[in-house]
Each structure stands twice: as C-alpha cells, then as structure tokens.
Structure 1
Amino acid sequence: MKVFHALADALAAHGVDTVFGLMGNANLLYLPAFADAGGRFVAVAHEAGAVAMADGYARMSGGVGVASVTHGPAFTNTLTALVEGVRSRSRVLLITGDPPPVPTHFHQFDIAAVTTAAGAGYERVHGAASLVADLNRAVQRIVAEQRPVVLNIPIALMQAEAGEQAPVALPVAPGSLAAPGAEALDGALGLIGSAKRPLVLAGYGAAAGGARDALVELADRTGAALATTVLGKELFAGHPRDIGIFGSLAHSAAGTVIAEADCVVAFGASLNMWTALNGDLFRGKKVVHVDTDPARFGSYTPADAPVAGDARRTAEVMNTLLEQAGITAANSAWAQRVAGKLAGYAPEDDVDDRGGPDTVDIRTAMIRLDRVLPAERTVVSDIGRFDVGVWPYLRVADPLHFTVMGGFGSIGLGLAGAIGAAAAGAGRPVIAAVGDGGFMMHLSEFTTAVRQRLPLVVVVLNDGAYGAEHYKLHHHGYDPAYSAFDWPDLAGLATAMGARALTVRKAEELDVVGELLPTLDGPLLVDVRLDPDVNLVRY
C-alpha cells in the first residue's frame, strides 16, 4: 500500500468523514482515495475557505475539522483562517506538505516557522513508515491543546510504500480539573456570601462544560441575576432573572441590573474588553473569576478571588458548601427587583427604528427574522459593525449552536465557517450573518454551498460600504464615500450562481424566509439593505 492510500485509510479510522480542501500536487492522490473509500471531499474555491470551513465544522460537530491544501502559496493562503482557529481554540487539522526536495523549487517555504508564528501546532511525517504514528500525534495534540495543528507530509513520501504502520490511536481528551476544595473557595465564597446584589456571569466555557444547572442553582441560592457573554448567549433563557448579554451589548433593563450589582461571579469567561466595556462595568464591584486556564486571570479584568477550576464542578462544590452554611435563598429583595425589571422587557423596547424608505433598521429586521425562523437553528456570524444589531436579537436554542468567526478580528471568514457548520449536518438550519464587505471578500465560496446543495441561509447585512470606516471617516471630517462600494446586485449574483435569493428593503419582507426554509435544497441569499449613515456602535 502506498502512503497516500494509508493516509486516506488512517483519516477514516480516526472518524474523519469530511475533508475540505483545494487540490494540488501535494494532496492530489490521497483526496480521491479518501473519497473513493466513502469519505466526503468538499472542494473549495480558496485555501482560506478550506480552513474556515474545517473550523466551522469542528465548532458545530464537536469533532476535528480537517482541511487539505498543497504546498507553497496554498499554505500561505490559509494563514488568516488558521490564526482565527488558533484564537478560537478550534480543533482543526490542516494537512499540507513540502514540495519536491529541490532547493530551487519556487514553492520552497518554511512551514514550521510560519505555523509557529501563527500559534498553531506543527507536526511532520518523518518517513513513510511513521505516517500513522505521526498522524496520531497530530490529532492527539489538537484535542489535548485545543488548537489547530499543521501536519506536513512531504510530497516525496506520497508514492512510497507505507509498509507496516502503527495502529490508529484515537485521541484522549484531557480530564476536567479536580473540583476545588473548601480552602481554595474560601475567598470566593466570602465575597459571594457578603454580596447584597450578586450576579452570575457565564461564558462559553461554562456552556461547553455543561454548567447551566449548577449555575442556576447557585443563582437561586444567592438571589443572583444571571447573565452571559456573547458566546454563552441564551444559556439561561427562560429564567426570570436572565438579563441576557453582559457588556457592551446589554439591553436597557440589563444595564440597570449590571450597574446595581455589587459582586460578579464569572465562570468560563475571559472578561474581555467587550464584556467589561474596557473595565467600566466592573468598577466598584467584587469579582470572582472561575476558569480552567489560570493565565486568563487578570488578562483583561482584575479578579478579587480567582479560582482555577471547571465551571460545573466548581459551582457544584460552591452549592454544597453554601447549603452546609444554611444559605438556600438569600437576597430575596434583590432577586425580586431583578425579576421585576425583566418581566416587562421586550427587545423592541430599545429600538428607535431608524429604517428609511428603501432600507431597514437592522435590529427590527433581526427581531422579525428571529420570529419567522425555527427555534432550533445554528447561527454563524462574521464580524463587523452589523454585529450589534444581530447578536442580541437573533437567538439560538443552545449557546453551542452559535459561533462567531471573529477571534482574530478578520472579516470575511463567516461565510466559509457557516458552510462548514452546514456540512456538519446537525439537522438544524444554518443561518450565516455576514456584512456585504466580508461576503464579497469570499464570494467565490458561495459557489461551494451551491455545489454542495447546502440548505444555508446567508443573510447579508448590506450597507454598501465598509461600515466602521464609513463612520470613522465622517467623524474625522473626510468624505465617507471613500469607504463606499457600488456592489453588483447581490440577489442577481446569487441567482446566477444557482441559488435562491431575495432583496429586503422592508422588515416584513423577511417573512418569506420562514416560508422558503422547509423546501430549501441549496443556499438562500437574503440581501438586507441598510443605511450606511445609521450607526449603532459606540467607538
């Protein structure tokens, strides 16, 4: 058996059912072999798309997403998407390979050095006989280190005889941190016990760690309000004291509760600049910070009581210790005040609709879209000025059904990430929220969704400009027209590519999305027209 066949078999044995890639000399043989053996090869238009799709696939499947590219510029084309995966701690395997061992080959490039600079792990197949052992090590590192790994398989090895290989070894996930003991929690419980107006804040780590029930119990014992970061959104949906997103995107009722809280108990959240509003939201409050990664303590927000621990286990121990201390329903007046503040709140309360004759207010549009879509949905968002009108209003049934392709701050990866999420096939419709600039950056990947016949709804929030720059140019006294783009008709482009499409200039025109969704056999592009002069972001 040749190495390329052994690689295809080993990927399948690792449970890989989908590889996203762009074919070239370095992967020309194992990708067809993988597909011929029953795997799915999703051919992409650009190498960055392959990595972003693998990333989106990994986030929504819970497994390892695999991307494959050839050598030289194919690898360098992946770098922005690779760094996004690193910053988002995504489980991605990127397979590439050195070109032929000719010193003057124009694709010669130091893959290891650039991989290290990107923050990803690097592994190399050292010889034909070590292929499976080297692959095993790469996959184990992805799972253990929670970051992408680049696997370099030199092209010179591909047609060598594989010979006898080590058996495939499935990766072992790292165990949770042991639950902290009473002594380690003494300072944290002291702050919680003395708080008059506590608030429990959950981030993605709490959601992924299955901490919801333990955190709700902690909040009910202490009368705490409940809140989440953006990546934990909807974790506490339905609870009478759930204020929703904590931070720069908090709604008006939530803002009052946050201002009045005297102690924030955070679980699995980095407490970054957006959550903390550059520190403003934590001033005058005691902060208990629980996280599995002690390196996060103080990175953005100082903590009065840092606790290294798993969110669920730590909350469970806290509940046990509080019960032993006789605390079962504290701060009832605060709890009632929070519930009262939220009882009459509706998303429309904060919307002073700024739609025009031919444009919609993004908030009104998302509230409308939220109501016509099925509750069970996956939402993958790009980043841009539009986010403030999407994240608080377009909900999900589970925080793990929402992700943002924005860990590196690059626009344009959302579409590919959503394609990967749709390819994961979780049985939920996938909604991509992207800006017009980011969409046009990777327009070619829309054809991938068409070819794969993915029932993907791509909502383009289209203000005909790079929105943040439009606002900032105006603020600095320059003509904002420098940021404007006269795009072609997006619905026409999508139709020409073989997709369904509609243009929305009135919020009620979004109702048809709910009608079309059950019969989609490919992507639907929804071009939502916005006014570039309407700015909702505080810069």
Structure 2
Amino acid sequence: MTVPETAAAAVGRALAAGGVRTAFGVVGSGNFHVTNALVEHGVRFVAARHEGGAATMADAYARMSGEVGVVTVHQGPGLTNAMTGIAEAAKSRTPMIVLAGEATDARSNFHVDQDALAAAVGAVPMRLTDAARAEEQALEAFRVASRERRTVLLNLPLDVQSAPSRPLGPAPAVTGAAGPVRSAARDTTAQSGLATARDTTAGSGLAAADDATAESDRAAPDDATAELRRLLAGARRPVFVAGRGARHARRELEALADRTGALLATSAVAKGLFRGSPWDLDVSGGFATPLAAELIRGADLIVGWGCALNMWTTRHGTLIAPEAEVVQVDLDPAAVGAHVRADLGVVGDVRAVAAALTGPGGAAPGYRSAELARRIRDEGRWRAVPYRDESGAGRIDPRTLTIALDDLLPSERVVSVDSGNFMGYPSMFLDVPDAGGFCFTQAFQSVGLGLATAIGAALARPDRLPVAALGDGGALMGIAELETVVRLGLPMVVVVYDDEAYGAEVHHFGPHGHALGTVRFPPADLAAIARGHGFAAVTVTDAAGLAGVAEWLKGPRDRPLLVHAKITGERGSWWLEEAFKGH
C-alpha cells in the first residue's frame, strides 16, 4: 500500500522542482519533515548552529548566487531566533523563503503570532492552509520571493503539514534565480506622481536570472526616459551611482556612461561592480576616497541606478551639490526620493532603462579627461591615501593590517564584512575582483552577522577564497558558527579586528565624558578559541605576525584560518562619525 504524500513532503518536493538547490537551517520537530523532503529531492541542506546564523547564511547565499534563499526553522523559538537575519534579508529585499513550523493552538508554549513577527520586520507572511494545495501554495511563495524580491515567511501549521496532499502533476518550468521584478507596485505610480518606464518582459517561468534578462526586456521611451535623456545630454559632470538593483546591468551602464562621459561609483553593497574600468570611483559615501568624494560633490548630475541614495551612500546628502540634478532609476516607486530629493524618478528595471538610453551617436566627454583618468588611477584607491602608521605597544594599525592582507590574499576572493567601528577597513582596503566578490549584510546594521554571511557567500562562490572580516564583538556573538565552517570544510580566512570593546560606542560616547565600562572588555584569546573549534590560528600584533597567514596560504589549506589581530583603537572611524549625525 502506497503511503500518501504529506503536505510537508509536497512543499519540499515543489521547492526542489522549482529550482531550490541549497537550504539552511536548524532542525526541530516542526520543520523536520519539510527539511527531509528538501534533502530527498536533491536540495543540499546546511545545518547551522543557530537559527540567526542560518537565516543570514541563506540571505548571503541568495545575494551571491542569484538563487532564492531558503531557511528552515522550528515553530516559535526557532523563528524568533532567526528574526534578526530575517529582518536583514527583508530590508535588503533578498529573495528568500523562511519555512517555519507553526503551532496554531494558542495554548501551545510554542505559539506566537508568526505573521506579526514577519510583518514587523518587512517580510511577507504566507501560510500553508490546505494540504491538498501544498504544492501550489509553496510555488506561490516561491513566486513572491523571486519575482517581487521579497523575503517570505511560509508558515507551516503542524496539523496541515501532516495531512495527506495530492500532487498536481509535473512542476512548472521555473528557475531559482532572482530576476528583475515585474512588481504590481508600478500600478500605483499614478498616485505617487512618478513617471513609469514601461517593461515588456515576457512572463515565462517564475523568474529570470539577473545576468540573463531577455534581450527584449527594455524600457520603452516615455516622458521619464525622455527627460533623463535630456538631462544626460546636457550634463557636463555626470556621475552614476549603482546599487544592488544594478548589479545585473554593468554592461549597459558602462555603455551609457561611455556615451555620456559619466564617472562610475557604487553603494557599498555593490562594491566591485565597475572594477577594471578607468572611470571607477569605487564606493560612494562614508567609504569613499577623498578623490571620489571630491568628484561626486562636483557632479552636476547624479543618477542613482537601483540605489537608495541613503545617508550612507550620500554622507547625509553632503556628497550632492545643491545645484546638482538628482535622478533615481528603480523598480520600486517608493524608493525614489525616500532619502534625498529626487528631481526625476524613472520606475523600471535598471538594465532596461540604461539600454533604452544607449543608442547610436557620438560620445560626449562629460566628466572625463586624460588628466582625470590619471588621478583616478593614482589616487582612486584608499591604499594610495597617505596615513601615519600608529602600530605599536603590541597592537597593529588596522590600515596597515588590511593593506598587508590585501597583498597576501589571492585576488579571487569573496569578502564578507560584519558591522562595527572596524568595518570600513576591510570595506575600503580589501579589493575585490567584481561585485560577486563583496557580500555586505548591513541594511539592518546588526553586529554579529558577518561569520554567517561569509559561510553563505562561500557556498555560493566555491571558486573563490572566502574572507570574513569581523570585530571582536561580532566574532563572539556568532562564534558557534566556527564549528560550521570546520564541519563544511571551508578554506576560509576569518580576520578578527580586536580592540577589546564595542568600538563604535567607545568613540561615540567617550569624547563626551561618559563612563565606558559597559562597552569595554578584558582580553580574550580568540586564537585559542578558534583552535578549539578546529581552526588554524595566528595572533597578529605587528606586520611581522602576518607571516603565519602567508604560510597557511601556501597550502594545503585543509583547515580554515583565524587571524586574531590586536588592533589599535585610539581613534574612532570617520564613517561612523558621519553615520551618528543621523541618530
């Protein structure tokens, strides 16, 4: 007698057929069966040591692979443990599905209002309501995650999970990639007063990969694109700032920049997108080099492409000259003007809009000149900016440390950065080969996500050396996942910038005379802790201490490496000084 398929099994089968290849989680009784169903149908399951880490791993994996991320957790506390990672993913519009068991009986000690939890952090709550429609409802959650670039909580009530389902036949042809959204939000643009760039992508399948959008996916000329064309034609010093929503459109943006003479910059999350271009200014905002800040401030036209132009990217608007025209091109009408004034909003896919604006005709010089190309080449990276090395007394200057690591580590790397006072050093001084080399889970600005971010990124990009950059506070928060790194056999380099404090608070409150005993800590032997988890480890107090890193890189790299760097901490970081102005 054939045992009927349960709804939990149908959900796992449907998502696997839909293109899910990897899932993360911590398994309890409430998500045991759906997780096993995923595995049975070929999905790789990565067990984390904490649900918060699992959610962040899935987020980072989705960002770096272009696939829909999946995390699976127990009802109640499993979900609440994961909420910080879910909040980061939701704020970043990461296409991700959270599969969570649900105790619907209010008398259960596991019962919480899971819908309210999801909605509170910007995720989309959905629910398996009918065992007979389990496959259909799972694929609808996949569609919302993929096509609308949303983080979806798919609640799986325990009684519905265990009920028999019925297959609907072969799953529709879909892909797990997170492609350009054809959002219903554009239907409301008339209310918002924004012009809309028409999008004509065919609706075949649930998603199309960002780097494989159909050639016909172009925005037709309309009032908004015509006005942007006019502004570009008249600009003498245009600058493009590309964000995460532009990572699939490098070719089109560079072609348009060549035609209009624009310089190229990115938000932090899209760092590396224009690497190799002689007109690449790298990151705009708090991490911008002095030269990049000078040139962006000098622009008479700034176009944000899939970029929020938030306080980080614009230094609270100080990088935008009062007389500069500001344009935002974004799929989400609500993003236009949300942080800085926008003189024009074009609602549409970045690639489609840029392609529609790039036509036949000669190129304008715009901002470009031979002398400026020389300056960008010679001054356009942080390591070219002079500084006084403050190493000494058993501590290494974080700039000296990071420049040395940049020289030592292979260029084919994927760098993941935690939050904290230290975060600018790896973000500014560690180069990356392209936008696929930098994973920045900072929309929620939570300390402690960096190690899990690096694990997800490493699994998405096994061709590159994974590098995790953490502060001591974040490293200790996420330390359980050191075992996960070892268990997975990841050849990861974990660099801990240790100032024995929550440095952001020290430098924010210390100058005002506040007591700092609550944010300073005694020394911790992080190298010994890492060795206890199975890492190789070195403690670095000066440049000579990095010889251990060079030895590890020679091979066989059969254990991950933790670099416990005791860094100087006398001064605060200028990027956080800027950020604190907004609090």
What's the TM-score, normalizing by structure 1? 0.92
Alpha-carbon distance change, 254 to 453 in structure 1, aligned in 2, over 3 angstroms: same
Equivalence for 1:85? 89
Give, in angstroms, the shift of residue 471 of structure 1.
0.9
Amino acid corresponding to residue 20 of structure 1 in structure 2: F
- CA distances 1:46-105 after superposition (whole Å, capped 9, x unpaired): 111111111111112211221111112221111111111101111221111223x64422
1:43 and 2:47 are equivalent in the alignment: yes
Could you tell me how far 1:145 is from its partner in structure 2? 1.7
Seen in structure 2, the aligned counterparts of structure 1 residues 255 and 111 have a Cα distance that, compared at 3 Å, is closer
Give unmatched runs, 5+ long, in structure 1: none
Q: CA deviation at 1:261?
A: 2.5
Q: How many residues align?
A: 531
Is the CA contact 1:372–1:511 (under 8 Å) kept in the aligned structure 2?
no
**Over the residues paired in the alignment, what is the CA RMSD in angstroms?**
2.3
Partner of 2:312, secondary structure, is helix
SS of residue paired to 1:10: helix
Answer yes or no: is 1:406 the counterpart of 2:409. Answer: no
Instruction: Answer whether contact 2:19 2:174 (CA < 8 A) is retained.
Output: no
Partner of 1:122: 125
Moved more, 462-471 or 12-21: 12-21
Equivalent residue for 2:338?
299
2:229 aligned to which of 189, 197, 202: 189
2:283 corresponds to which residue? 245
* Residues 291-330 of structure 1 aligned to structure 2 (within 5 Å): 291-320=330-359, 323-324=360-361, 327-330=362-365
* Deviation string, structure 1 residues 194-245 (Cα, Å, up to 9, x no partner): 32222222222222x22x2333233333333222221222222232232222
Q: 2:557 corresponds to which residue?
A: 520
Preserved CA contact (<8 Å) 1:422 1:454: yes
Q: Distance in 2 between matches of 1:256 and 1:55?
A: 34
Deviation at 1:248, TM superposition (A): 2.0
Distance 1:164 1:206 in 2: 38
Which residue of the partner structure matches residue 261 of structure 1? 299
Q: Which residue of 1 aligns with 2:537?
A: 501
CA distance in 1, matches of 2:306, 2:225: 16
Q: Using a 3 Å threshold, how does the CA distance of structure 1 residues 7 and 232 change in structure 2: closer, same or farther?
A: closer
Comparing 8-17 with 431-440, which one deviates more in the overlay?
Answer: 8-17
Moved more, 25-34 or 138-147: 25-34
Whole-Å separation in 1 of the counterparts to 2:222 and 2:371: 31
- Judged with a 3 Å threshold, the aligned counterparts in structure 2 of structure 1 residues 30 and 186 are, in CA distance, closer, same or farther, namely closer
Q: Secondary structure at the match of 2:442?
A: coil
Q: Distance in 2 between matches of 1:507 and 1:381?
A: 22
CA distance change for structure 1 residues 295 and 34 in 2, over 3 Å: closer, same or farther? closer
Q: Give the deviation of 1:282 after TM superposition.
A: 0.7
Contact 1:179 1:309 (8 Å CA) reproduced: yes
1:344 and 2:381 aligned: no
**Aligned with 1:25 (options 29, 35, 40):** 29
Q: Given the superposition, is the C-alpha separation of residues 8 and 287 from structure 1 closer, same or farther in structure 2, using an over 3 Å criterion?
A: closer
1:117 deviation in Å? 1.8
Q: Report deviation, 1:280.
A: 1.2
Matches within 5 A, 1:90-239: 90-99=94-103, 102-165=105-168, 167-171=170-174, 173=179, 174=181, 177=199, 178-181=218-221, 183-207=223-247, 209-210=248-249, 212-239=250-277
Q: Give the share of equivalent positions with the same residue, in percent.
A: 37
Pair 1:455-2:491 in alignment: yes
Tell me the SS of whatever aligns to 1:109: coil
2:326 match: secondary structure:
strand
How much does 1:272 deviate?
0.8
CA distances 1:86-136 after superposition (whole Å, capped 9, x unpaired): 01111221111223x644221122212222222111221113222111111
Contact kept, 8 Å, 1:51 with 1:78, in 2: the verdict is yes
1:396 and 2:432 aligned: yes
TM-score with structure 2 setting the length = 0.85
Give the alignment of 1:368-517 within 5 angstroms.
368-517=404-553
Contact persistence 1:471–1:480 (CA under 8 A): no
Structure 2 CA distance for partners of 1:330 and 1:537, relative to 1, 3 Å: closer
Q: Look up the equivalent residue of 2:22 and give its one-letter code.
A: T
Worse overlay, 217-226 or 392-401: 217-226
